[in-house]
Amino acid sequence: MLLGFLALSLTGCQSGPDPRGMENENRNLHGVLEQQQQRIDDLTGERVRLHQQVRMLEAKLEKVQSTEEVVEEAKADISEQVRRALDRFKGDSDIEVEQTGSGYRLVLRESVLFKTGLANLTPEGRGALVRVAAALRQGGARISVEGHTDDVPVKRAETKRRFPRGNIELSVSRALSVWGYLVGAGKLDRARVSVAGFGPHRPRVPNTSETNRWKNRRVEILVEDR
């Protein structure tokens, strides 16, 4: 009896693992593997999409760089055209040309363009503007016409009647006269030409002498070629 009991006990202790438990564990592991494989597939697809986007962006960048090179070449051509055109004014006593950071500045004195207190162009002023228009007609450079005065207030009754707002209105009226002649007789594209008047607020030199005031009474034509 005792021997039989011991044998039965030993047999029970040596029984194997539960097959159903192993099957469940295998199913769980298989599910984990499928999830990991799906994750790998998703990452691979994302990598392909990102690679395609990078290639598209590189192509766009090459196109932009190519466009910028063309634009820079065009700007250089415009700059050279403007420079050659404005070289004509060397020695021209009516028109002073200065190079700026963005292009050129043409300075025309009041004594060339207008009579004192008036905004009507003189024959000499129209002749000077014909030469300016001929130099600037080619190309697409932006042009700004700016009127300036000295700091002496408008005093004459006739002048005050024409320009009740004083030097500001006088400077604007003169700039408009120049603008009108450039886009009219000068045949410049009006879309290229803007106009402004600053009165005495942007002097070239301090208004401390009559000579300096003479320098400040002017119209400037700014040419932005780049």
Residue 121 pLDDT level (bands cut at 50, 70, 90): very high
Whether 45 has a pLDDT exceeding 80, the answer reads: yes
pLDDT tens digits, 90-102: 778 899 999 888 8
The helix or strand, by DSSP H or E, that contains position 97, with its residue range, turns out to be strand 95-99
Whether 40 has a pLDDT exceeding 70, the answer reads: yes
Residue 194, CB half-sphere, CA atoms under 13 Å: how many? Answer: 8
pLDDT tens digits, 171-216: 999 999 999 999 999 999 999 999 999 999 999 999 999 999 999 9
Q: Which of 35-49, 67-81, 182-196 has the lowest mean pLDDT?
A: 67-81
| Phi and psi based region of residue 20 (left: phi greater than 0; alpha: psi -120 to 50; beta: remaining) | alpha
Whether 81 has a pLDDT exceeding 80, the answer reads: no
> How many percent of the chain have pLDDT more than 70?
83
Q: Rounded distance, CA 95 to CA 132, Å?
A: 9
From 118, 185, 186, 197, select the one nearest 154 (Cα to Cα). 118
The helix or strand, by DSSP H or E, that contains position 173, with its residue range, turns out to be helix 167-183
What does pLDDT average to over the chain? 85
Whether 141 has a pLDDT exceeding 80, the answer reads: yes
**Across 108-127, average pLDDT:** 96
- Residue 106's pLDDT is what? 95
From 128, 151, 154, select the one nearest 221 (Cα to Cα). 128
Q: Look-up: residue for tokens 């009740």?
A: 164
**Across 77-83, average pLDDT:** 63
pTM of the model: 0.65
Q: Which domains does the chain have, with CATH numbers?
A: 83-224 (3.30.1330.60)
**Across 58-63, average pLDDT:** 78
- Residue 46's pLDDT is what? 82
